[in-house]
Amino acid sequence: MKRFLLYILGFLFAGNMSAMKIDRIEPPCWWTGMKTPLQLLVKGDGISSFDNVRVIEDGIVVTGVSKGDSPDYLFIFVEETNPGKTLPGKYNFVLSDGKDSLSFRYDLLQRRKGSMDRESFTNADAIYLLMPDRFSNGDPSNDSVDGCLEKADRHDPNGRHGGDLTGMINHLDYIASLGATAIWSTPLLEDNEPEGTYHGYACSDYYKIDPRYGSNDLYRTFVAYAHDKHLKVIMDVVTNHCGTAHWWMKDMPFSDWIHVFDKFTRSNYVLTSSYDPHASEKDAEICTDGWFDTSMPDMAVENPYVLQYFTQVFIWWIEWADIDGLRVDTFPYNDKYAIAQWCANIRREYPHISIMGECWLNDTGGIAYWEGGHHNKDGYNSNLPVIMDFPLMIAVRNSINKSTPGWGEGASNIYNTLAMDYMLERPQDILIMLSNHDTERFADIVNGDVRKMKIGFALLGTMRGIPQMYYGEELGLQSAALDKGDGGKRIDFPGGWSGDSLNLFDPLQRNPEEASVYDFVSKLFNYRKGSRVLQSGKMMHFNPVDNVYSYIRYGSVNNSASGDIHSAGGNHASEVFVAVNLSRKNRILDWSRYDEIIKPGRAGKNIINGNKVVSGENTVIKPLGVLIAEFSED
């Protein structure tokens, strides 16, 4: 009753109500008990003159109002008067210009229990990366949607093909059965450019799922269903750039909302300029302020209003959809101090959440600079918990086809790359992969050779770090047409569309090669799901001989996310031994090299075929062969 009376009294004394229309309020709602300050972006024609703002009800208060450079924006800053005790509900804001008034209602919701303490993805997980438009079309009715410029055309490799959230929901069992424990989907937010929107990296509305994928409610349903299958969900986010079709591009709040040059200026992509002590300031500026592409305006995240906007956007999605982690596209192309603050802001609200940054440099020293907590000479700390191991991906890809390697090539390239782990603070928490949506598929690199694909997956599933597999990789799928650019690499999953002549979700329709790769991957990753020694164990590797690379996973690494863990829930291996033969000849293992950890005469088991393995006995690894053996405690 009190709240109702306050509402009535507020409007009786509000003065003349203006006919002005509020077009947009972001965030669209918020929650009580949040640590993040609330900055409301309010947009409407000429609204900046309505800068006298109050809230009718008790519980929250307006602490400040700022105008943008455009007269069509107000930024309203709101705090709880008694943090932690504010009641959820609808709160009425009244805005006045001294003569006329207008109002809006704003929802403050109740947080999920334990939301702040949510766990995230760790090295105990295996991530399945998919592109929604190319994975499965579960709802053909939304392939083309009124209001979205680009319509579906499955014949165009760079067009939209119709994959959607319903298709993703339909195949959660497939992903879980593979041994994956988390899903990373490329962006699902609206991308309303006139063409090339299937990838989703040119956002036109940060608070809206692209209607060709579904709706905000359907995304939340997808997350809930994924959780029911024990799958975590990682959202792909873009803070560095939006799309030219974004609604604010017609009327930006501030002149420095994006980076603007006298003429179009593309990034020079020289990421080394961020830490190079000899770098030109101009080179560094063009790298971070230049546009990523003509359709991708570069966001000025160093503007505090922009920084707070992006902080709130992705806290909103975490809270609203209950997601488990974030992957940040083109991380180093942001202003490095602003994006470090952004990471800190997110983790202030969710202390345990993992944020993975795409820092695409090809050397370990380059990626190490961006690892949160790294002791950089210039004192910079990105606050980024997880980086991506592009150097290892490149080393594996360059090594696997070398039948007669030169000095430092072949297996030695992998060994030498991992030796650079001394530069990293947390090598056990780095994301490792064979390929992703921006590269050729791993099967392209090895020309469809099943033996080489198994070697790649053996490394991916047993190496230190957080493994990520790319959709279709588990079946050895190759790109449709490498000469068609990214669209030719980002193939439709066979069977994801009604009427497909081949359905590879169905085991009975796989050819022997596809079945062989899938069975190897699913057996390995389901084993890994129960093996703490593979998830968080230490690693000892051995100088390659005759192009054979071998290592042992043992013990555990103390990990702030997953804890200091010594035994597996599903199996009790104390060591896992791995050897991959990149040569084209049979190789006999010299077990005496491994007796620091695995003493002669110990009995083990090949985790792929179940055969007995005894250390010290003659063990032959075939050309391009793999051995993964568990040795249980004596």
Question: Both 513 and 581 in a single domain?
Answer: no
Q: What CATH code is carried by the domain that includes residue 475?
A: 3.20.20.80
Report the distance separating Cα 72 and Cα 211, nearest Å.
27
Residues 6+ apart with CB under 8 A from 147: 192, 211
pLDDT at 406 (0 to 100) = 83
Q: Are 161 and 198 in contact (CB under 8 A)?
A: yes
The answer to whether residue 391 sits within a structural domain is: yes
**Other residues' Cβ atoms within 10 Å of the Cβ of residue 163:** 28
Question: Both 455 and 362 in a single domain?
Answer: yes
Residue 410's DSSP bridge partners are: none
Can you say whether residue 113 is alpha, beta or left, with left for phi > 0 and alpha for psi between -120 and 50 degrees?
Answer: beta
The answer to whether residue 184 sits within a structural domain is: yes
pLDDT at 411 (0 to 100) = 95
Question: Both 8 and 92 in a single domain?
Answer: yes
Is 0.85 surpassed by the pTM of this model? yes
Report the candidate in 79, 114, 92, 66 with the shortest Cα–Cα distance to residue 10: 92
Q: Are 3 and 80 in contact (CB under 8 A)?
A: no
pLDDT at 484 (0 to 100) = 79
E strands in 155-212: 182-185, 189-190, 205-209
pLDDT at 569 (0 to 100) = 39
Active site residues: 329, 358
Residue 284's DSSP bridge partners are: none
- Running DSSP on this structure, what letter comes out for residue 87? P
Name the residue with tokens 């929901």.
Answer: 169
The answer to whether residue 116 sits within a structural domain is: no
Residues in the chain where the model's pLDDT stays below 70: 1-19, 557-573, 634
Question: Both 539 and 422 in a single domain?
Answer: no
- Tell me whether the omega of the peptide bond preceding residue 88 falls within 30 degrees of 0, making it cis: no
Question: Both 618 and 593 in a single domain?
Answer: yes
Report the distance separating Cα 129 and Cα 519, nearest Å.
19
> Across the chain, how many H-helices and E-strands are there?
16, 27
The answer to whether residue 150 sits within a structural domain is: yes
Question: Both 515 and 544 in a single domain?
Answer: no
Q: Which of 488, 508, 529 is where one domain is finished?
A: 529
Question: Both 183 and 144 in a single domain?
Answer: yes
Q: Which of 493, 511, 529 is where one domain is finished?
A: 529
> Structure tokens of 627?
């051995």
Report the candidate in 119, 123, 58 with the shortest Cα–Cα distance to residue 91: 58
The answer to whether residue 363 sits within a structural domain is: yes
N-terminal to C-terminal alpha carbon distance within the chain:
72
Residue 109's DSSP bridge partners are: 31
Question: Both 537 and 525 in a single domain?
Answer: no
pLDDT at 572 (0 to 100) = 57
- Running DSSP on this structure, what letter comes out for residue 271? G
pLDDT at 501 (0 to 100) = 97
The answer to whether residue 226 sits within a structural domain is: yes
> Structure tokens of 238?
């873009």
Question: Both 436 and 489 in a single domain?
Answer: yes
Please give the helix or strand (H or E) that residue 575 lies within, else none.
Answer: strand 573-581
E strands in 13-85: 16-17, 24-26, 30-31, 38-43, 52-55, 60-67, 73-80
pLDDT at 440 (0 to 100) = 95
Range of the domain at 64: 2-109
Q: What CATH code is carried by the domain that includes residue 576?
A: 2.60.40.1180
Q: Which of 508, 529, 550 is where one domain is finished?
A: 529
DSSP, collapsed to helix, strand or coil, labels residue 103 as: strand
Question: Both 385 and 515 in a single domain?
Answer: yes
Report the distance separating Cα 186 and Cα 134, nearest Å.
11
pLDDT at 9 (0 to 100) = 41
pLDDT at 566 (0 to 100) = 30
Q: Are 60 and 81 in contact (CB under 8 A)?
A: yes
Q: What CATH code is carried by the domain that includes residue 22?
A: 2.60.40.10
Report the distance separating Cα 428 and Cα 418, nearest Å.
11
Question: Both 7 and 43 in a single domain?
Answer: yes
Name the domain count of the chain: 3
pLDDT at 558 (0 to 100) = 52
Which phi and psi angles does 629 have, rounded to 5°?
-125, 135
The answer to whether residue 115 sits within a structural domain is: no
Report the distance separating Cα 153 and Cα 147, nearest Å.
17
The amino acid at 470: Y
Question: Both 463 and 583 in a single domain?
Answer: no
The answer to whether residue 119 sits within a structural domain is: no
